[in-house]
Amino acid sequence: MNSIKYLVFSVLLLAALAGCEKGQEADYDDNFHPRIIDNNGVFLSPNRIIFQGQSAVYSGLMFSPKPNTKTKVVWKVNDKEVSTDTTYTFTPTAGGEYEVKVEASYNGQVSTRISKVLVSPTTYTFKNFSHVALAYLSENGTAKQVDWANVTHVAFNGAKVTPDGLDISKGQVNQVTDELVAQAHINGIRAMLGVSGTLSGIDGWSLYQSNNFGNAISDPGRRAALVAQIATYVKDRKLDGVDVMMTDLSDFGERNIAATGPFIAALRAALPAESVITITVTTNWMHWGYSNLNMVDWVNVHAFEDGAISPGSPVAQPSSYEYMIAGANIWKNNHGPASKVVVGIPAFGLRFDELDGNGNNLGWGSYSYVPYSAILAKDAQAFGKEMTTMDGKTVFYNGIPMVERKADFLKVNGFKGAYMWAVDYDVIGTNSLMKALNNKLK
């Protein structure tokens, strides 16, 4: 009996093997959906960023069924067929955004893998502008938060001065800096690296009693090392310049500010000749401490958030029209000319979270900052106002009418332009503050 069972099993096995040798029809029926097996993870990240002249290599893929007369592999770049091989190397000859797609088809069924490749161009032409409209990204900003049609320059606060040197990790994660530079150059925009110490929050000021930046530039040896690090990073990442965001002012403000002159002189000598160098400056009494700034292309004046948030301070607009004018005129009248002054406008609001018995700010920690985008999310009509409420708390901010009024003043009075801190707090579209600012300045 066992011998009979064995004989039957052997016959069936031989029949199955014979069937397999007849062709893939025995293994894969007409309804089989082909597969693209990516063991090497070449499509693991759907987005790649490369410089023109570099290549994006797609290899190590397996296809099931294996490619034959009934299984076809096709590679496409921006929907144009470029190869039928099982591997593909994409070497772009121009900057831009590309879609690399591989298709495996079998009996009319298709599997697809897609990769987006952003190519930073080797040659590009910067667009002309009458006034600077600088979009400043915080350390958490990305290129996707920039409306490229409404900016003339972009800066990314992607370099932090620490006791150990220059921390550029924020720009390295997911190639944030490379993506920003690529998109900027594709759109004819200069991309700058913002260098700062540790900031306290979204307002763009330094952490209280933090002097990492000031300590570094006040010491000749450390200053030289820092300049070398910045220059190397700017050149390697194809950046177009640097903004020196010197806001370490609490304990050694005068010393730190005095050191910005030698620091900028060293940067100018180390960076490519065409680099843009700017500096973000204060509007308080310490402005007198700045040395010769002839070597900067312009100064960015932090003329927003007046600092009236001490215990008992009235609940009021901290970034008023009048405060901006006063800050702008400090630099126009005492350091001049206006044509080298770019004035800051906020894309965030101040919320008073706790009040005292008189209805004033309760204390040093009784307020918070809110991005403009979050304000709009709570109040769809906030774009046309300067004050609203969030969760029952009063929030003051700059809406579109205020931004347009400030831009008008700057344009009429001969200032070089304005910058927005930070543009990743803004929105893109009809209610964008950056769009309103640029439309008034251009």
Average pLDDT over residues 242-259: 81
Helix or strand or coil: residue 181?
helix
Instruction: Give the pLDDT of residue 32.
Output: 85
Contact 408, 389 (CB under 8 A): no
| pLDDT of 50 above 90 | yes
Instruction: Give the pLDDT of residue 36.
Output: 96
- Which residues contact residue 110 at a Cβ distance below 8 angstroms, ignoring those fewer than 6 apart? 34, 103, 104
Rounded to an integer, what is the distance from CA 277 to the centroid of its chain? 19
Please state, in angstroms and as integers, the Cα–Cα distance from residue 54 to each residue in 83, 93, 118, 303, following that order.
Answer: 19, 9, 11, 43
Instruction: Give the pLDDT of residue 250.
Output: 66
Instruction: Give the pLDDT of residue 4.
Output: 47
Instruction: Give the pLDDT of residue 255.
Output: 87
Q: What is the biggest distance separating any 2 CA atoms in the chain, rounded to whole angstroms? A: 111
Q: CA 389, 390, 393: angle at the middle one, nearest 5? A: 70
Average pLDDT over residues 106-113: 94
Residue 439 CB neighbour total at 10 angstroms: 15
Query: Which tokens go with 347?
Result: 């894309």
pTM of the model: 0.89
| pLDDT of 187 above 60 | yes
Of the candidates 276, 266, 291, the residue with the CA atom closest to the CA atom of residue 419: 276
Average pLDDT over residues 290-311: 88
Please state, in angstroms and as integers, the Cα–Cα distance from residue 441 to each residue in 134, 147, 376, 404, following that order.
Answer: 11, 16, 24, 9
| pLDDT of 271 above 90 | yes
Please state, in angstroms and as integers, the Cα–Cα distance from residue 411 to each residue in 44, 130, 147, 248, following that order.
Answer: 48, 10, 21, 30
Helix or strand or coil: residue 162?
strand
What residue ranges define each of the domains in the chain, with the CATH number in brackets? 35-120 (2.60.40.10), 132-441 (3.20.20.80)
| pLDDT of 13 above 80 | no
Any bridge partners for residue 351, and if so which? 368, 395
Residue 157 CB neighbour total at 10 angstroms: 25
Which pLDDT band, with edges at 50, 70 and 90, does 292 fall under? low
Of the candidates 146, 226, 149, the residue with the CA atom closest to the CA atom of residue 192: 146
- CA–CA gap between residue 132 and residue 343 (Å, rounded): 10
- CA–CA gap between residue 324 and residue 204 (Å, rounded): 16
Which pLDDT band, with edges at 50, 70 and 90, does 22 fall under? very low
Average pLDDT over residues 236-249: 88
Average pLDDT over residues 244-273: 86
The size of the chain, in residues, is 442
Q: Mean of the per-residue pLDDT values for the chain?
A: 91
Contact 60, 128 (CB under 8 A): no
Instruction: Give the pLDDT of residue 6.
Output: 41
Instruction: Give the pLDDT of residue 289.
Output: 75
Phi, psi angle pair for 72, to nearest 5°: -120, 135
Of the candidates 236, 231, 245, 229, the residue with the CA atom closest to the CA atom of residue 156: 245
Rounded to an integer, what is the distance from CA 318 to the centroid of its chain? 26
